Each structure stands twice: as structure tokens, then as C-alpha cells.
């Protein structure tokens, strides 16, 4: 796969993540009043938006004017925290749904929908972590040595 095609794929998938996260927030928070699923949908969309921002800057070759390696490392930590929070939410919602025998329907009380969107938040958090790691290496200009003494 060509490098330019890969960059555009990342950009388009981030746009889809933003749209789906925003739609999940509106639908679950406002329409079905499932606060948990709406919150995780919003957070997923925010992480997708940060990924889009980084990809867009990289494609436009303006990443170094907006971010330094240190700011990208800070965003990388944020991505890891999002991954851990999303995975903790996934485990929590599945546990609660199984323990209290909460069904998938109705949507208003469904813990499984919140589990799905907490997983999506974890996925976008992990993506943000990995992309920041990649962009730090690009900004620094080289990969670190395999064994550093």
C-alpha cells in the first residue's frame, strides 16, 4: 500500500470516527437518554478528532509548526489514558450488565451499548497513542536505537 494512500485512509477513518462519535452522542444522550453511552460516544469522537488533526497536519506538512516532540509525547500520554479508561469502562459495563442481568433493550438502560462505545474510546485512544509515537519519530528524524546504554 502506498504511503500517500495510507495517510488518506487514516484521514478518512478519523473523519468517520468523528461523525459516528458525534452521532452517538446526539442519539444516545439526547434521544434515548443513555448518559453513559452518550458520554463515551462524545469522548470517542474527541479522540478521533485529535487523530484527524494530527493526520491533517502531517499530510499538509505542517506538523512541525504546530507541535514539537514534547507536545506529541503529552498527547501520547493522553491517548494511553483514554485507552485505559475505555478498557476499564468496557470491563465495568459488561460486569454490571452480567451481574444484574440487564438486557440489551431498552436502549435507555442498556449497559452493552455503553460498553461498545467505551471500547470505541479505547480504540481511538490507542490509535492516538500509536500515531503520536509515529509522528514523534518522524519529527525527531530517526528511530531510536534498539539497545541504548
Q: Confirm whether 146 is domain-assigned.
A: no
Burial of 148 (0-12, 13-18, 19+ CB in 10 A): exposed
Give the residue with greater pLDDT, 144 vs 64. Answer: 64
User: 37 falls in which pLDDT band (50, 70, 90)?
Assistant: very high
Q: Is the pLDDT of residue 1 over 90?
A: no
Q: Confirm whether 148 is domain-assigned.
A: no
> What pLDDT score was predicted for residue 5?
84
Q: Is the pLDDT of residue 145 over 70?
A: no
User: 99 falls in which pLDDT band (50, 70, 90)?
Assistant: very high
Q: Confirm whether 149 is domain-assigned.
A: no
Q: Is the pLDDT of residue 143 over 60?
A: no
Question: pLDDT tens for residues 44-92?
Answer: 999 999 999 999 999 998 988 999 889 999 999 999 999 999 999 999 9
Domain that holds residue 87: 3-140
Across the chain, mean pLDDT equals 91
Distance CA 40, CA 5 (A): 30
Q: Confirm whether 134 is domain-assigned.
A: yes
Mean pLDDT of 114-134: 96
Q: Confirm whether 83 is domain-assigned.
A: yes
Mean pLDDT of 111-128: 96
> What pLDDT score was predicted for residue 71?
94
Distance from the first to the final alpha carbon of the chain: 36
User: 108 falls in which pLDDT band (50, 70, 90)?
Assistant: confident
> What pLDDT score was predicted for residue 144?
54
Q: Confirm whether 74 is domain-assigned.
A: yes
What's the pTM? 0.88
Number of structural domains (the chain) is: 1
Q: Confirm whether 115 is domain-assigned.
A: yes
82 to each of 19, 56, 62, 79, how far by Cα in Å? Answer: 19, 21, 26, 5
Q: Confirm whether 98 is domain-assigned.
A: yes
Amino acid at each position: 500500500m502506498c504511503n500517500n494512500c495510507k495517510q488518506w485512509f487514516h484521514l478518512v477513518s478519523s473523519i468517520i470516527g468523528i461523525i459516528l462519535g458525534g452521532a452517538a452522542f446526539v442519539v444516545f444522550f439526547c434521544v434515548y437518554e443513555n448518559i453513559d453511552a452518550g458520554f463515551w460516544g462524545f469522548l470517542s469522537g474527541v479522540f478521533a478528532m485529535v487523530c484527524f488533526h494530527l493526520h491533517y497536519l502531517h499530510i499538509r506538512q505542517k506538523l512541525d509548526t504546530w507541535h514539537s516532540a514534547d507536545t506529541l509525547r503529552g498527547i501520547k500520554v493522553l491517548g494511553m489514558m483514554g485507552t485505559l479508561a475505555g478498557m476499564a469502562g468496557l470491563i465495568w459495563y459488561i460486569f454490571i450488565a452480567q451481574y444484574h442481568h440487564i438486557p440489551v433493550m431498552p436502549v435507555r438502560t442498556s449497559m452493552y451499548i455503553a460498553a461498545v462505545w467505551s471500547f470505541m474510546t479505547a480504540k481511538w485512544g490507542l490509535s492516538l497513542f500509536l500515531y503520536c509515537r509515529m509522528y514523534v519519530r518522524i519529527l525527531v528524524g530517526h528511530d531510536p536505537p534498539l539497545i541504548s546504554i
